[in-house]
Structure 1
């Protein structure tokens, strides 16, 4: 693996982790998560919006 691919993989890990943190904080505070963060985590924003509260 070249150094560019390695740094790209590390960057993707941090991006994914950051999106996970942002989505979890939004849900914890009762706000709607950003669609971009949901897409980075592989979730459909429209489907996520249909999820109700317990």
Structure 2
């Protein structure tokens, strides 16, 4: 297991939160979320695109 510094862990939390907000906003606007945001949340973009919205 890799030890992360406190600023690195905090940055990771904010990155994940930002991706969650971006994906939510994209879906709210009936747009496809960016692949990078989906990957940040642990969602496979190709699989997500198969979901009928």
Per-residue CA deviation, residues 6-41 of structure 1 (Å, 9 max, x unaligned), is: 000000000000000000000010000000000000
Q: What is the alpha-carbon distance in structure 2 between the residues aligned to residue 36 and residue 10 of structure 1?
A: 19
Q: What is the TM-score when the length of structure 2 is the normalising length?
A: 0.90
Matched with 2:49 is 49
Q: What is the alpha-carbon distance in structure 2 between the residues aligned to residue 5 and residue 27 of structure 1?
A: 33
Q: What is the TM-score when the length of structure 1 is the normalising length?
A: 0.89
- Identify the structure with the greater helix proportion: 1
Structure 2 runs not aligned, ≥5 long: none
Alignment of structure 1 residues 10-49 onto 2, 5 Å? 10-49=10-49
Structure showing greater radius of gyration is 1
SS at match of 1:22: helix
